Amino acid sequence: MLFQSKLLFAVATAGLISVVAAGPASALSMTECSAKYKAAKADGSLGSQSWKDFRKAQCGAEATAAPAAAPAAAPAKPAARSAAKPAAAPAATTASGPAIFPSAISPKYASETAGKGRMHTCVDQYNANKSTGANGGLKWIQKGGGYYSECNKRLKGG
């Protein structure tokens, strides 16, 4: 009987702690609060309020009107992002032709190790190409092989 009482007390205490620790259901998630903060920052209604102060005032348990406003603002964000990404992609691919790569390691880097010499030669050529748009739309490092990867392969002879 004593064991059952202790077990019942332990289960009840654990249940109470989990309910208290979960917090109020009306509080915003960090993602929702962050989106709300960015929107307030963009429209200038934030003023000099810091993230910490904004989060306490707008996203905590005291903010009762926040849950109704957050879902309305959240769908607008993904649409704005998807519209901005296609506009940025053509700007990156405005290459005047194929990328120009160096044919050999620069003599000024001959005293360095082979890997560092290739890297410094490639970065010099990449920076020279940036002003003329001769990087062929490649970024320095990108998924699938950027300028550095291709340049390094060519200087290795591969």
* pLDDT one-digit tens code per residue, 11-49: 777 766 765 555 555 566 788 888 888 888 888 887 788
Bigger pLDDT: 91 vs 1: 1
For residue 9, being part of any structural domain is answered with: no
**pLDDT score of 73 more than 60:** no
Instruction: Say yes or no to pLDDT of 124 above 90.
Output: yes
Among positive and negative, which fits the CA dihedral 19, 21, 24, 25?
Answer: negative
Query: Sorting pLDDT into bands at 50, 70 and 90, what band is 144?
Result: confident
Amino acid 92: pLDDT = 43
**Residue that finishes a domain, picked among 59, 74, 99:** 59
| Residues of the chain above pLDDT 90, percent | 27
How many domains does the chain divide into?
2
In the prediction, which pLDDT does 63 show?
58
10 within domain boundaries: no
Instruction: Tell me: pLDDT of 70 over 70.
Output: no
Of 20, 40, 59, the one marking the end of a domain is: 59
- The residue type of 132 is T
User: Can you state the angle between helices 76-92 and 66-73, rounded to 10 degrees?
Assistant: 30
For the beta carbon of residue 70, count every other beta carbon within 10 angstroms: 20
- Sorting pLDDT into bands at 50, 70 and 90, what band is 96? low
- Position 55 scores a pLDDT of 82
In a domain, 117, yes or no: yes
Q: Which domain holds residue 46?
A: 30-59
> Contact at 8 Å (CB) between 112 and 120?
yes
Which stretch of 48-62, 81-95, 126-140 has the lowest confidence by average pLDDT?
81-95
